[in-house]
Amino acid sequence: MTGTSQAVQSDGGLSHDVPRHVAIIMDGNGRWATARGLPRFEGHRRGVEALRRAVRIAGDVGIDVLTVYAFSSENWKRPQSEIAELMGLLKLFVRRDLAELHRNNVRVRSIGERQTLAPDLRGLIEEAEHLTRANTKMTLVIAFNYGARDELTRAMRQLARSALSGGLDPESITDQTISSVLDAPDLPDPDLIIRTSGEQRLSNFLLWQAAYAEFVFLPVLWPDFDRAHFDEALAAYRNRERRFGGVDREEKLAAVGGAGG
Ligand code: FPP
């Protein structure tokens, strides 16, 4: 993922109606289930339904890229049974939803470490990416076995290998060089990151790409996430002024002697 969206750069950092790239930390499945006396798995299962809703809404409102944090590199610390359930849910999601995603012109991608995943799961991810590679309506990025520090570590190793083999001059490395060796270098950086469940942390998600993202934290638990919550996050985003390290709109107009100074 590289740079900021063209639209954002072209008008000097004013807010935009629709973010080009939204990333979601889908948190609170376990608490949703526990509050109802249900097993945690039921929370994850209902979480997949909320994910389906979110994909549909993102397509409706014209978001180009939706990235969801489905399994982090730290989630391996969970009980073996819960890990197996989450792996099973991803497989089920790809198997059951792939045809519909493809029909709806959605491109499916995955970021995260793949080499250590079970071969059948890796195969399914590759199949989904291959089948949908030419789709253009929206890109759904599933962050699976993903951790930003792991992504950056793998990227740094790749640059170090190129430097050692003589192909890369360390002095020529720029931030774009680093972006270009991350897991999805062709996608724009997230404009908006939503986290549900009331927690206010990034939890090792897109650390590099989130440099200028807007954050919206919602108290809703992920299985309950619906259109009203998505609309609330988009409305909050519209009200933000994005400066990308520059000055705000009023100051800029004042500096050039324009109206409103
Ligand atoms: C956080 O809830 C959620 C996750 C760790 C995984 C998110 C997974 C899904 C929405 C379903 C799986 C979808 C796919 C495509 C695999 P939590 O368990 O941390 O909740 P808690 O903080 O309340 O315990």
Tell me, yes or no, whether 2 lies in a domain.
no
Q: To test ligand 1's pocket by mutation, which of 42, 44, 140 has the most ligand atoms within 8 angstroms of CB? A: 44
Residue 257 — very low, low, confident or very high, per pLDDT cuts 50/70/90?
low
Six-digit token pair at 217? Answer: 């934290």
The active-site residue out of 17, 60, 75, 248 is: 75
**pLDDT > 70 in the chain, percent:** 89
Tens-digit pLDDT profile for residues 14-26: 446 899 999 999 9
More confident residue, 181 or 167: 181
pLDDT of the residue at 188: 97
- Residue 241 binned pLDDT confidence (cut-offs 50, 70, 90): confident
For residue 98, what is the enclosing H or E element?
A: helix 80-103
In a domain, 47, yes or no: yes
pLDDT of residue 62: 97
Structure-model confidence comparison of residues 225 and 260, the more confident one: 225
Q: What is the mean pLDDT of the chain?
A: 91
Mutation pick for ligand 1 pocket among 26, 77, 203 (CB with most ligand atoms within 8 Å)? 26
**Residue among 203, 190, 200, 192 at smallest CA distance from 147:** 203
Which is higher by pLDDT, 27 or 11? Answer: 27
- What is the 33 CA–ligand 1 centroid distance (Å)? 11
| Residue from 24, 25, 26, 29 whose mutation best tests the ligand 1 pocket (most atoms within 8 A of CB) | 29
**Cβ distance 150 to 73 under 8 Å?**
yes
Q: Answer whether residue 13 shows pLDDT above 50.
A: no
Using the 8-state DSSP alphabet, how is residue 13 labeled? S
Name residues contacting ligand 1 (CB within 6 A). Answer: 26-31, 44, 47-48, 51, 70, 75, 86, 89-90, 93, 142, 197, 222
Closest Cα to atom 10 of ligand 1: 47
12 occurs within a structural domain: no
Q: How far is CA 26 from the centre of its chain?
A: 10
CATH number at residue 63: 3.40.1180.10
Whether 60 is catalytic is: no
Take atom 16 of ligand 1 and give the residue whose Cα is closest.
90
Is the predicted pLDDT of residue 6 greater than 90, yes or no? no
Closest residue CA from atom 24 of ligand 1: 30
**Which one of 27, 64, 97, 189 is the catalytic residue?**
27
CA of 36 to the centre of ligand 1 (A): 16
The number of the ligand 1 atom at minimal distance from the alpha carbon of 82 is 18
How many structural domains does the chain have? 1
Residue 63 lies in a domain: yes
Q: Closest Cα to residue 225, out of 191, 203, 195, 190? A: 195
- The domain in which residue 126 lies consists of 19-240
CA of residue 120 to ligand 1 center, whole Å: 21
Q: Is residue 246 part of a domain?
A: no
In-domain check, residue 42: yes
Indicate whether 254 belongs to any domain: no
Check if 29 is active-site.
no
The predicted model gives 138-142 an average pLDDT of 98
User: What's the pTM value of the predicted model, to 2 decimals?
Assistant: 0.89
Please write the tens of the pLDDT for every residue from 78-110.
999 999 999 999 999 999 999 999 999 999 999
Note the pLDDT tens digit of each residue in 31-58.
999 999 999 999 999 999 999 999 999 9
- In-domain check, residue 118: yes
Q: What is the pLDDT of residues 202-219, one digit of tens each?
A: 999 999 999 999 999 999
Protein residue with least CA distance to atom 22, ligand 1: 28
The DSSP result for 15-72, as a single string, is --SS-SEEEEE---HHHHHHHTT--HHHHHHHHHHHHHHHHHHHHHHT-SEEEEEEEE
* pLDDT score for 41: 95
Confidence band of 12 (pLDDT split at 50, 70, 90): very low
Residue of the nearest CA to atom 1 in ligand 1? 27
